[in-house]
Amino acid sequence: MRCSLTALVALSLAVVSLAGPTPSPYNVHEKRSVIPAGWTRTRRHENVATLPLRIALKQNNIESIGDFLYDVSHPESTNYGKHWTAGEISRKFSPSDETVSTVRDWLVKSGLASERIRVSPTKGWINVDVTVEEAERLMNTEYHVYTHKSGQEHVACEAYQLPEHVSSHVDFVLPSVHFDAKIKRRSGSEPEPARAIGQPGVGITPKTTGTVSQILTELEECDEYITPVCLRALYGLVYEPVATDKNSFGVVEYTPQAYLQTDLQMFAMNFSTDLIGKEPYMVSIDGGYAQTEYQGFDYNGESNLDLQYGMSLVTGNQTVTLYQTGDMVEGASFNNFLDAIDGTYCTFEGGDDYTEDSQYPDPYGGGYEGPEDCGTATPAYVISTSYGYNEADLTLFYAERQCAEYAKLGLMGVTVLYSSGDDGVAGNDDVCLNANGTQTADGVIFNPTFPGVCPYVTSVGATMVKPNATVTQVQPEMACMEVIYSGGGFSNYFAMPSYQQTAVDYYLETYPPDYPSTMWNSTGMSRGLPDISANGANYVVAVDGEFELVYGTSCSSPVSGAIFTMINDARLAAGKSPIGFINPTIYSAAFAGAFNDITEGSNPGCGTEGFNATVGWDPVTGLGTPNFPVLLEKWLSLP
Binding residues for Ca(2+): 597-598, 616, 618
According to DSSP, residue 618 is labeled B
The Cα 460–Cα 563 span in angstroms is 13
The secondary element (H helix, E strand) that includes residue 252 is strand 249-254
The Cα 162–Cα 343 span in angstroms is 29
**569: β partners:** none
Q: Which position among 30, 180, 253, 306 bears the catalytic label? A: 306
The Cα 472–Cα 489 span in angstroms is 30
Which amino acid is residue 25, in one-letter code?
P
Angle at 393 between CA 387 and CA 397, to 5 degrees: 105
Total number of residues shown for the chain: 639
Cis preceding-peptide flag for 530 (omega within 30 of 0): yes
Is residue 536 a contact partner of residue 553, using CB atoms and an 8 Å limit? yes
Ordered strands of the 159-163 beta sheet: 17-18, 26-31, 159-163
Is residue 334 a contact partner of residue 376, using CB atoms and an 8 Å limit? no
Collapse the DSSP code of 585 into the 3-class scheme (helix H, G, I; strand E, B; otherwise coil) and give the result.
helix
What is the rounded radius of gyration, in angstroms, for the C-alpha atoms of the chain? 24
Taken in order 442, 609, 9, 401, is the CA torsion positive or negative? positive
Which amino acid is residue 141, in one-letter code?
T
Whether 90 is a known active-site residue: answer: no
According to DSSP, residue 35 is labeled P
Interaxial angle between packed helices 396-411 and 65-73, expressed in degrees from 0 to 180 and rounded to the nearest 10: 30
Nearest to 420 by CA among 449, 389, 385, 456: 449
Which residues belong to the annotated binding site?
597-598, 616, 618
The Cα 196–Cα 358 span in angstroms is 9
The Cα 392–Cα 411 span in angstroms is 27
Q: Which position among 554, 556, 557, 602 bears the catalytic label? A: 554
Q: Virtual CA dihedral for 315, 272, 252, 238, nearest 10 degrees?
A: 40
Angle at 375 between CA 373 and CA 377, to 5 degrees: 85
Collapse the DSSP code of 228 into the 3-class scheme (helix H, G, I; strand E, B; otherwise coil) and give the result.
helix
The CB-side HSE value for 45 (13 A sphere, CA atoms) comes to 24
Q: Which position among 134, 192, 253, 302 bears the catalytic label? A: 302
The secondary element (H helix, E strand) that includes residue 493 is strand 489-495
The Cα 182–Cα 287 span in angstroms is 19
Whether 554 is a known active-site residue: answer: yes
Is residue 462 a contact partner of residue 486, using CB atoms and an 8 Å limit? yes
Enumerate the active-site residues. Answer: 302, 306, 554
